[in-house]
Amino acid sequence: MKIGIIGAGQIGSTVGKLWVEAGHDVRFASRHAEELKPLVSKLGKRASAGTPADAAKFGDVVMMTLPVKAIPDLARDLAPLLSGKVVLDTGNAYENRDGAVAGEASRHPQGSAGWAAAMFPGAHWVKAFNTVYFKTLASEAHRKGDKLGIPLAGDDREAVDIAAQLVRDAGFDPVLVGPLARGKEFEPGTKPYNSGMSGTELRKLLE
């Protein structure tokens, strides 16, 4: 599968590496694509770098891993390119980083993911990979036994199923929580957030 990653920071580069290792083609993107050359060189021929627009066009699935304060500007440029695509939203609203936008996003009836999704009409939005620290993702991928859980929320079941398979490919256990609005149940300040729970533990808590 072709995957675009917009915001190749800690989460994006960590999960993108796992997807490349699983056999997917991944295009990493940032506003300074030249800074991604060391990453893609290390990952080999299945990895490439480009602008956010490049990644949006390239991916059958697009992961957006950005501060929420960056979303409105990005939507103006990329919303048409993401229409019809599965979008994995790793975002969390942090007031100390995102300012007033954090409050706006958090107060949305469907949480910060619903707030973001509203700016990208036609995209199939799934909240994913927002609960686990990047170092934990790197160290716990493909562990034996009860795998690390990744909760997912989205309104389009086919999109959620695609996200779930990508979670498995990265070496984790997808936990299908329900509609996008239930993404609020694993945002910062909730029990699952940054807990390192297994899939089994998350199901007991969320399902």
pLDDT at residue 33, rounded to an integer: 79
Q: Which of 202, 175, 198, 172 is nearest to 190 (CA)?
A: 202
The domain of 115 spans 2-206
Q: Which of 59-63, 75-79, 99-103, 200-204 has the lowest mean pLDDT?
A: 99-103
Calculate the alpha carbon distances from 105 to 119, 121, 191 in Å. Answer: 12, 17, 20
Q: Is the pTM of this model over 0.75?
A: yes
Tokens representing residue 23 in the block: 């056999």
- Counted domains in the chain: 1
**Chain centroid offset of residue 20 CA:** 16
CATH number of 29's domain: 3.40.50.720
Report pLDDT digits (tens) over 47-94.
Answer: 999 999 999 999 999 999 999 999 999 999 999 999 999 999 999 999
